[in-house]
Amino acid sequence: MASEKNGEKRWVPLESNPEVMSKYLYDMGMSKDWQFEDVIGLEPELLGMVTQPVAALMLLFPLSEKIKEAEKKEVERIEKDGNTVNPDVYFMKQFVGNACGTVGLLHAVLNNQKSIPLDGTLRKFADYTKDLTPEDRGHRLEEDEDIHAAHEKSAQEGQTEAPPASESVQPHFVALVNNNDTLYELDGRKAFPISHGSTSADSLLQDAAKVCKRFMELDPSELRFTVMALVPVQA
């Protein structure tokens, strides 16, 4: 059972670990031709070590006060100026505490269904939610016992001891994906996807790395940032 705090369901947080994340998605039906790998640095020579093509990036960052304040201003600016989002973007809201890892993974793979084959739980969830609103997708995740069970199993497989579900963790996952040559930041805490301008299949890694750098610059005192890339498995 998911823990509940003040009426909110809470899951055990996931560790930012590419092996754990990959196995979690395999257990739910993602093709084993794809996997996550660590991005060890955002400088050009280190990005050059990342397997290509990159389907998505997962960024884990601390929800520090400086970052939350910057995000608030960004949302206010977008609400004032507008934010064009392609209707093909798969986006869902997050209503389960500590489930940002699962929401980020779903954003990563469900926005890449043309290139990443899905089966089992993932295919079932994708088909059931494809025509739902972001809110209804989030509520469906709340009720999905198959995904919850896979999440809880993966949360216990990390290299560090998982905190209890009742604990609200500060680090937060978001996904960065390419949809119709536009780079989107997908964060279930926010009301909508955020466009970060043009990109392409070839430049997604470099363009998304710039967005990751901007997150880091919001609070230079923080060191708790990690980046993973969803990439094809090399033979």
The span from the CA of 51 to the CA of 234, in Å, is: 8
Residue 76 amino acid letter: E
Q: Quick: pLDDT tens for 125-183.
A: 999 999 999 999 999 999 999 999 999 999 888 655 444 444 444 688 999 999 999 99
The span from the CA of 194 to the CA of 208, in Å, is: 12
CA angle 14, 163, 143 (to 5 degrees): 55
Q: Which of 79-88, 96-105, 178-187 has the lowest mean pLDDT?
A: 79-88
Active site residues per annotation = 100, 172
pLDDT average, residue stretch 49-59: 97
pLDDT average, residue stretch 201-208: 97
Cα-Cα-Cα-Cα dihedral sign, residues 202, 39, 12, 74: negative
pLDDT confidence of 206, banded at 50, 70, 90? very high
| CA-closest candidate to residue 83, choices 200, 182, 208, 209 | 182
User: What is the predicted pLDDT for the residue at 87?
Assistant: 92
What domains sit in the chain, N to C, each tagged with a CATH number? 3-232 (3.40.532.10)
pLDDT higher than threshold 80 for residue 86: yes
Residue 97 vs residue 5, higher pLDDT: 97
Pair 178, 201: CB distance under 8 Å? yes
Residue 7 vs residue 216, higher pLDDT: 216
User: What is the predicted pLDDT for the residue at 140?
Assistant: 97
The span from the CA of 29 to the CA of 208, in Å, is: 26
User: What is the predicted pLDDT for the residue at 161?
Assistant: 47
Please tell me the pTM assigned to this model: 0.89
Average predicted confidence (pLDDT) for the chain? 88
Q: Quick: pLDDT tens for 16-37.
A: 899 999 999 999 999 999 999 9
Residues 6+ apart with CB under 8 A from 92: 103, 106, 107, 129, 134, 137, 138, 141, 188
User: What is the predicted pLDDT for the residue at 170?
Assistant: 63
User: What is the predicted pLDDT for the residue at 147?
Assistant: 96
Residue 185 pairs in a beta bridge with: 176, 194
Pair 184, 196: CB distance under 8 Å? yes
Residues 6+ apart with CB under 8 A from 15: 155, 158, 159, 160, 162
pLDDT average, residue stretch 49-68: 89
